[in-house]
Amino acid sequence: MTIAAKDIDAAADLPGNLQGGDYSPYHVFSAAEWSRFRADTPLTLTADEVQRLRSLNDPVDLREVRRIYLSLSRLLSAHVEASQILFQQRKRFLSMSDETKTPFVIGIAGSVAVGKSTTARILAELLARWPSSPKVDLITTDGFLYPNAILQRENMMDRKGFPESYDIGALLRFLSAIKAGQPNVKAPTYSHLTYDVIPDRFQTIDRPDILIFEGINVLQSRNLPADGKIVPMVSDFFDFSIYIDAEENLIHNWYVSRFMRLRETAFKDPQSFFHRYATISEDAARAIAEGLWHNINLKNLHQNILPTRPRADLILQKGQNHLTQTVALRKL
Ligand SMILES: Nc1ncnc2c1ncn2[C@@H]1O[C@H](COP(=O)(O)OP(=O)(O)O)[C@@H](O)[C@H]1O
Ligand SMILES: CC(C)(COP(=O)(O)O)[C@@H](O)C(=O)NCCC(=O)O
């Protein structure tokens, strides 16, 4: 999908200026307006299930699912259905009889700590409960990070999450195999506990109807290699993309407060990469979290993540308490 330069400028003003208007490539809705589009979409999750799906520090509840996610689920259902019809029509046009399925791929982007994982998990559950019972799989891009041993060797530990810290070739090969309808495609996995890729542990994706692909980098374009060859980018494989947005100071607070809560939980585990921060003083731990936020994640947000926002088909803009305030949907 191409957008004109003037559209990119207009979108770059989001979310401070989410009014829409003739020049914006987005339709912009308040949460209340957006919630009406759910029409008669049934609520198929219970309060307990939502609680199980949400990440630490993300207070999303059934009300938010009703307000925001049911309309989103309905919209995605329309997109998936249309793409399946188009796929069948193309097969007929080409007189092809093979039964290969091409999964519908949804990308979810946004800053570290903005709540991508919660959104991805809730969507995956809602979509899997459509009457057609599609097979839905979820992959996070952190498995495609280079292992710490390589990042350390290359002096890149403070670049974790930056474009150069991912094995982009492996990521593109994975998506390409998925889109080609290949069975049993393996994705590497990551542990937030050990803060590293898990050696020899893979997630196997076997011809889903829908794949949700979540990570900070999924809307990034790739720098042209020195030989000038045109290379695909991750979003070339997406049928729909979502950017989760919030004001910088809110994401900063969410990152630091999550870090402080992790001290009480995950960091207590001696296996945790951050175990040493479970025992230092609260002030010292807060200073560490501030350092990680400002020196790594905020820089990455400014340099590499926020600039990808105008590529998204849909932008969920969150306010206090992770509650969605505005939804911007790209005009087709
Ligand atoms: N150091 C950590 N230890 C354990 N879990 C973590 C740690 N950092 C992040 N997480 C968890 O990893 C998941 C992904 O976090 P993140 O990449 O910041 O994305 P987001 O907050 O947008 O989902 C979240 O569920 C978060 O709670
Ligand atoms: C692993 C992450 C880069 C997120 O990766 P993603 O799943 O979005 O590909 C991030 O959680 C992270 O560890 N950032 C590095 C700085 C920090 O420790 O917060």
Enter the ipTM. Answer: 0.93
Ligand 2 pocket residue status of 252, Cβ below 6 Å:
no
Mutate to test the pocket of ligand 1, among 138, 192, 195 (most ligand atoms within 8 A of CB): 192
In this prediction, residue 238 carries a pLDDT of 96
Ligand 1 center from residue 25 Cα (angstroms): 31
Q: Which ligand has the shortest distance to the CA of 293?
A: 2
- Buried b / exposed e across 124-141, counting CB within 10 Å, b at 16+? bbbbbbbeeebebbbbbb
In this prediction, residue 17 carries a pLDDT of 47
In this prediction, residue 101 carries a pLDDT of 82
Identify the residue whose C-alpha is closest to ligand 1 atom 8: 192
Is 114 annotated as belonging to a binding site? Answer: yes
In this prediction, residue 251 carries a pLDDT of 98
Ligand 2 center from residue 24 Cα (angstroms): 31
Q: Which atom of ligand 2 is nearest to the CA of 161?
A: 3
In this prediction, residue 310 carries a pLDDT of 94
Ligand 2 pocket residue status of 244, Cβ below 6 Å:
no
Ligand 2 center from residue 111 Cα (angstroms): 9
Ligand 1 center from residue 285 Cα (angstroms): 17
In this prediction, residue 10 carries a pLDDT of 40
In this prediction, residue 23 carries a pLDDT of 65
Q: Which atom of ligand 1 is nearest to the CA of 55?
A: 25
In this prediction, residue 98 carries a pLDDT of 76
- What predicted TM-score, i.e. pTM, was given to this entire model? 0.92
Ligand 2 pocket residue status of 140, Cβ below 6 Å:
yes
pLDDT along the chain (332 residues), means of 10: 38 48 84 92 88 81 92 95 92 85 95 96 94 95 98 97 95 95 97 96 97 95 65 90 98 97 94 94 97 98 96 96 95 85
Q: Which ligand has the shortest distance to the CA of 217?
A: 2
